[in-house]
Amino acid sequence: MDIAVYSGSFNPLHIGHLAIMKYLTGEGGFDRVYLIVSPKNPLKEGIDSASGQDRFDAAVQAVNRHFPKSGPVKVDDIELNMPAPHYTIRTLDTLREREPDNRFTLTIGADNLADIRRWRDYQRILKEYGVAVFPRRGYELEYIKEDLLLEDSAYRIHLLEAEMVDISSTIIRNALKEGQDMSQWLM
């Protein structure tokens, strides 16, 4: 099976995430999506966050509302059971060990692709697993991809032609702190 690994803080999970999951299992061509809630992103220190378990529980409830129980999206607790720090390469390697017959591709946004050189073992991620990248406003995906391929032409970078969703968890968190109603954006 071709599995899209969609990992993140999901603090909170919102309709933009839902649109990406639907795209991945539809036009994106993946058999399944593993939604992985990261308890603590080593590159996002200092961000106020609900606990990893609380965000995982919220993700399970949201996914169950929008997808059939044995459907194409699975909320996976793999990182909740791994010791910190939660490096993506360790998660991908553990998934491959657990399910050697499946092929895993990391799903990231253009902002993460632009910053991927800061990630632990990013070269292995790009060569061994590959990335499926969805667009984000303000990022020139073709340019970022070409720059990385100059470093190593073996990198597997697939640019998704998904519709751009102009919402982020950061925008939602900041609006909620200001007392704004953001319920229309939440899953």
99-125 pLDDT, tens digit each: 999 999 999 999 999 999 999 999 999
Average pLDDT on 178-182 reads 91
pLDDT recorded at residue 144 = 96
Range of the domain at 102: 2-185
**Which residues have CB under 8 Å from 171's CB, separation 6+?**
none
pLDDT recorded at residue 48 = 52
pLDDT recorded at residue 166 = 79
pLDDT recorded at residue 101 = 98
pLDDT band at 185 (very low <50, low <70, confident <90, very high): confident
pLDDT recorded at residue 42 = 58
Structure tokens at 94: 């553990």
Average pLDDT on 51-70 reads 91
Q: Which of 1-15, 92-106, 172-186 has the highest mean pLDDT?
A: 92-106
Q: Which helix (H) or strand (E) holds 132?
A: strand 131-134
Structure tokens at 27: 């036009």
32-50 pLDDT, tens digit each: 999 999 987 555 555 556 7
68-81 pLDDT, tens digit each: 888 999 999 999 99
Q: How many domains, in total, are found in the chain? A: 1
CATH code: domain of residue 141 = 3.40.50.620
**Which residues have CB under 8 Å from 62's CB, separation 6+?**
13, 18, 187
**Which residues have CB under 8 Å from 42's CB, separation 6+?**
84, 85, 86, 87, 120
Give me the sheet containing 103-109, strands edge to edge: 73-76, 32-37, 2-8, 103-109, 131-134, 157-159
The strand pair at 73-76 and 2-8 is best described as unpaired
Report the candidate in 59, 7, 20, 34 with the shortest Cα–Cα distance to residue 167. 20
138-149 pLDDT, tens digit each: 999 999 999 999
Average pLDDT on 18-24 reads 95
Average pLDDT on 14-18 reads 92
pLDDT recorded at residue 12 = 84
3-state SS class at 23: helix
